[in-house]
Amino acid sequence: MSTFTFKGEPQQTAGELPAVGQQVPAFKLTKGDFSTITQEDIKGKRTVFNIFPSIDTGVCAASVRKFNELAAGMDNTQVVCVSKDLPFAHKRFCEAEGISNVITTSQFADQSFSQAFGVDMLTGPLPGLMSRCIVVADEKGIILHTEQVAELAQEPDYEAALLALK
């Protein structure tokens, strides 16, 4: 289990993030157009997984906006935003915000992502949703960087994610 806080209160996840140096684990996510994306689909590009509880919260929305801005300037890099929100919510948000540089994905149809990445929250007011995490992988799907954000109500360390890509 991994620990973090939510508004200062200790919380736990169902597992641990995959270790740096490991291959990205097998997963299946649903994109906004209801097609799927798997670990095989990310190979060939560097990938930043922006994992969060819900697009409908301020901090989660801010991270999608920030990664959308950063992704515009990154070569051979994709940002995959992951939550349990339905694709409809992702589409609504991206259209309203003019977001087009990230791939929004939902885990609604298959639970393999949160299980493989160990990010399901077990405690606190949001059990079952995913904790705020960043996972960065290279073109071969090897994990370069992970971050379990220490306080759920705070944004991830964008600089650390970018440094992992250099």
Helices (H) and strands (E) counted in the chain, each on its own, are: 5, 9
State how beta strands 28-31 and 46-51 pair.
Answer: unpaired
Give the span between the Cα atoms of 82 and 80, in whole angstroms. 6
Give yes or no: 60 in active site.
Answer: yes
**Is the Cα dihedral 141, 113, 31, 161 positive or negative?**
negative
Choosing from 60, 81, 94, 133, the catalytic residue is: 60
Query: Measuring CA to CA, how many Å separate 73 from each of 36, 37, 91?
Result: 25, 23, 22
Q: Where are the alpha helices (DSSP H) in 98-154?
A: 112-117
Is the distance from CB of 10 to CB of 131 less than 8 angstroms?
no
Instruction: Give me the active site residues, please.
Output: 60
